[in-house]
A and B are shown apart, each in its own frame.
Chain A
Amino acid sequence: MNALALVTDAFGSSGGIAQYNRDLVAALAEIPGANRIIVLPRLGDGNGGALPRGVRQLKAQGNRLSYSLTALRAAVTLGPFDFVFCGHLHLAPLAALLAAGLGVPFWLQLHGYEAWDDMKRAERWSAERAKLITSVSRYTRRRFLSLAGVDPSCVGVLPNTVDAGFGPGAKSDVLLDRFCLRGKRVLLTVSRLDPNERRKGHDRVIAALPAIVTAVPDVVYLIAGHGADRTRLEVLAQSLGVANNVVFAGSVAPDELPQLYRLADLFVMPSTQEGFGIVFLEAAASGLRAIGGNADGSIDALADGAIGVAIDPNDSEALVRAIVNGLEGGGPDPSGVGRFRFENFSGHVRDLVNGHLLPAAGAAGTAGVAP
């Protein structure tokens, strides 16, 4: 099996989509018979350390034209390919054309809000020609189906998986001292602080803090992640008189992240813009109880409330109740997160590839041939 993967970023990049693409490429490489997987990213330095066996990542091409030309050259010279994987809706027109030119199926992966609202005509046209579409969550799938006239049975769900490096453990003394958290109960959010992504819910948690402090005086809200929105949040905390209960951890190195989760007593992110919300999985895998919104892909990461509490993100009283209850040890047991382990993810990738994309696809038919 040979595949050409057009992605925004993968090896050597940070962020949720890059992580997803690395996991997916690793899962593809595990499929028996997998031979060659060519990855062409838009971004990233390609120095992502060791690549899975059979995987080759080409040099990133940030410019749209050079990306297209490189993809075309790869399609012609590095093939033959059995299918084209397209890791982002914005790349779908190119992927559809290449796949049509090669006479092979193409697989489109949807992440988050790129597939939620108005879609460009070319993107819709190409999405409607994909042999297989997978969405990171049921929510993104639903939003996408409202925009594109695709048979719902062609759109599956392939959720994020969680790295085995996240797990429960003792709190790190170094980090406790760095953030002055000794003797405190810690509420944690991990995300970028991007002014363009203000729907993550930091504001909602800060606004709830006065009520939370009343019930749990030793609470500290630890905000991990960097970005230009930090100043605004600092001002908000000050104006509400809870500046002393908020700690900004700034940017956290990937190898420190598992330890950061272990510092916390409760993870909270009442967001309304999650395609999925991999941080919920990381938190739950670290043994943390979690609270998220019920109005976006978070509901999948929280497994409809089985892994963490899913609240209406605009219901501030519900948020306070859930946080206070969570800090006192209430809420669902996060161990259900085990379902998102890599073995399940890669097994599903294998089933999808064998069932939809390889030549024997459809042989598991029913009426014609008994299943």
Chain B
Amino acid sequence: MCGLAGLYAYHYAANPIDLAELRAIRDHMAARGPDGEGEWQSTDGRVGFGHRRLAIIDLSDRAAQPMASADGKTVIVFNGEIYNYRSLRSGLEAKGYVFRTQSDTEVLLQLYASKGAAMVRDLRGMFAFGLWDGDKQGLLLARDPYGIKPLYYADDGWTLRFASQVKALVAGRRAGLDPDPAGWAGFFLFGNVPEPYTIYRDIRAVPAGSTLWIDRRGLHQPERYFSIPQVFAEAERSATKPDAQSRIRAALIDSVRHHLVSDVPVGLFLSSGVDSGALLGLMRDVGHDDVHAITLRYEEFRGRHDDEAPLAAVVARQYGAKHTIRTVTQEEFRADLPKIFTAMDQPTIDGINTWFVAKAAREQGLKAAISGLGGDELVGGYPSFNDIPRWVRWMRWSACVPFAGEAFRRAVSAVNDLVPLAHPKIAGFLKYARTYAGAYLLRRGVFMPWELPDLMDRKFIREGLRRLDPVRHIASILKPEPRTAWGKVAALESSLYLRNQLLRDTDWASMAHSLEVRVPFVDASLLRAVATDFAGLPPAAGKRLLAAAPSAAVPDQIVTRAKTGFSTPIERWLKDDERIRGWQQVPRLRPQNCPWARRWAYQVARP
């Protein structure tokens, strides 16, 4: 778990790389890797890698990075964890490969020697890496199936730069910083910047589940090696297998066991929900019985139903975990706000919870922690699993009435602009709700497309909407398209909200505290095993299956509690803190019933 950086002057006209730039990019990520730093440069000065290390597996200096193969021809910088590295290593040793370290990084080098870029298909874990192939004189960038670990690149036509964070590339001062209208439009629509866009036109994300090859010719097209909708589509084609409960348990046990591979203690973020509770039970089941669980409590919530602490304590007691409840006050938020904006790699409306819980975990001496992220996408825990298919069913007829959607939208918006009675999304219902992509935009959208010109320069944002084409962007996720409604929604949630919001925010907010977060529910092997087992179940039933997975089930009072999600008192802080009250100048954000996410999005765009 680290920060990686690299430069490759691939074009014949480019100057050799500048080590000072490489170090500036690398050292912007000091918090990602406080345990060590390293750099490597090719003898011709055309390629260089930099690395900041957070040591989790093989703590020795031999495992430092960048790491070169024995013959020096292949060099890697890697961020993440390969949970199946021991079995991969045994397989390679059986073929005669000789290892010098105990690290998972070296396994990547040897696996590449054995299989080339197709190696990514064998990896189980979360990863982003850059690998220089001296024989082929090319650079391979790769990212894990779900996109847990970030990887960004900037190409100016002569030199390619890559790093774990957008802001690190900015710190190098050579990447182009023209704003990307598509990235900004995406932020206001979704509350996060949808990959591959960033807020800078010249900086892009390596797509999740993809590799990118760069040689003297320049960038090749990214190649996708893993597709979430494809897993659903394939699972739907195969016959339903009996005994879901035992298969779910076996697959979860397998994922949790893999996610505990570590040479340092691994803690747990514990909420009052089923997901983290089930993980705690499963951790116990695989023999991890000295778990340190961390729960966040907001002072404002104390004694209310959204106070996580009392029920989390019940779960911790049941499974015999060491439990730390960390209280966050408004004063602490006030003090941390500038640091949060600095650490926030790209604008986002989430990540505050992770910021504080990661901070608490680090205070407790942890370097790594398990999180229940991704549970809702797996079991269908979001309202979208019900709402979207229902809306699409209701509105299917509207396809037969051309222009009705836009006419309705204009009429309702016009009325609403005068007297803000209805939620702005109502105006878009007829226009969007008849397709899965449109309905998803309605369900998850923070702002609606026609509201954006009030928030940024009109010409800029119109161009952004043209380039992003939000409904088409969402629809492009569903290739191949799962047959069932459940599969479609699960694929959309996992490929958009989970990837661009939850996982990305978890990365920056935890790495700012030098804490590695592991997510056993976000695992390609697990998804393949249980893809259709939760399909079509109402959310409560899915959660019950999950709660029953540990040998000692999650307590009933957790399962029956209404879902609150991780919430923060940010709605109130937005009224109290003068630094984030600029939204009060925007008529669209002033109405009493304006959701806090809209105000916060507006503030985040202007830190």
* Residues of A that sit less than 8 Å from B by CB: 135, 137-138, 141-142, 145-146, 149, 152-153, 155-157, 159, 300, 303-304, 306, 339-340, 344, 347-348, 351-352, 355, 362, 364-371
Contacts and interface: CB of A to CB of B under 8 A. Distances in A.
A309 to B, nearest CB: 15
Contact of B223 (A347, A351, A366): A366
Given A145-B201, A355-B217, A370-B116, A304 B12 contact: no
Task: Find the residue from B140, B157, B220 having the highest chain A CB count within 10 A.
Answer: B157
Contact of B13 (A149, A152, A340, A355): A340
B593 interface: no
Contact of A156 (B204, B218, B222): B218
Nearest to B117: A366
Contacts of A145: 178, 201-202
Given A152-B204, A153-B218, A367-B211, A339 B12 contact: yes
Instruction: Enumerate the 3 nearest inter-chain pairs by beta-carbon distance, A residue then B residue, closest first.
Output: A370-B116, A157-B157, A149-B467
A314 B391 CA distance: 59
A362 B202 contact: no
A345 to B, nearest CB: 8
17 contacts: A141-B156, A145-B201, A153-B155, A153-B218, A156-B157, A304-B15, A306-B15, A340-B13, A348-B11, A355-B220, A366-B116, A366-B117, A366-B212, A367-B142, A371-B116, A371-B136, A371-B140
A59 B500 CA distance: 55
Task: Find the residue from A145, A146, A355, A367 having the highest chain B CB count within 10 A.
Answer: A367
B466 A149 contact: yes
Given A300-B13, A306-B15, A366-B213, 10 more contacts: A135-B157, A142-B178, A142-B202, A152-B155, A153-B218, A159-B13, A348-B12, A348-B216, A367-B223, A368-B225
B157 A371 contact: no
Interface in B176-193: 176, 178, 182
B133 interface: yes
B217 A303 contact: no
A131 B178 CA distance: 24
Contacts of A303: 13, 15
B414 interface: no
B15 A370 contact: no
B43 interface: no
- Interface size of B as a range: 35 or more
Contact of B210 (A142, A152, A355, A367): A367
Contacts of B156: 138, 141-142
Contacts of A304: 15
B86 interface: no
A370 B115 contact: yes
B202 A371 contact: no
Interface in B472-499: none
Contacts of B157: 135, 137-138, 141, 155-157
Nearest to B203: A152
A338 to B, nearest CB: 10
B140 A366 contact: yes
Interface in B442-469: 463, 466-467
A371 B213 contact: yes
Contact of B117 (A157, A159, A371): A371
B382 interface: no
Nearest to A155: B157
B562 interface: no
Contacts of B466: 149
Task: Find the residue from B138, B218, B223 having the highest chain A CB count within 10 A.
Answer: B218
Nearest to B160: A153
A21 B548 CA distance: 71
A153 B12 contact: no
A368 B11 contact: no
Contacts of B210: 367
A352 B217 CA distance: 6
Contacts of A364: 213, 215, 220
A54 to B, nearest CB: 23
B399 to A, nearest CB: 27
A152 B202 contact: yes
B219 interface: yes
A155 B115 CA distance: 30
Contacts of B136: 371
B404 interface: no
Interface string B91-129: 000000000000000000000000111101100000000
B220 A157 contact: no
A324 B229 CA distance: 65
Nearest to A135: B157
B221 interface: yes
Task: Find the residue from B138, B217, B222 having the highest chain A CB count within 10 A.
Answer: B217
A306 B15 CA distance: 8
Contacts of B221: 153, 362
Interface string B212-250: 110111111111110000000000000000000000000
A135 B146 CA distance: 34
Given A156-B218, A352-B217, A365 B223 contact: yes
A60 to B, nearest CB: 31
A367 B115 CA distance: 10
A222 B220 CA distance: 46
B596 interface: no
A362 B223 CA distance: 10
B408 interface: no
Contacts of A155: 157
Contacts of A156: 157, 217-218
Contacts of A365: 213, 220, 223
Contacts of A146: 178, 201
B429 interface: no
A75 B222 CA distance: 32
B573 interface: no
B201 A367 contact: no
B583 interface: no
Nearest to A306: B15
Given A146-B178, A152-B155, A367 B118 contact: yes
B158 interface: yes
A53 B120 CA distance: 46
Contacts of B11: 157, 348
B13 A157 contact: yes
Contacts of B213: 364-366, 371
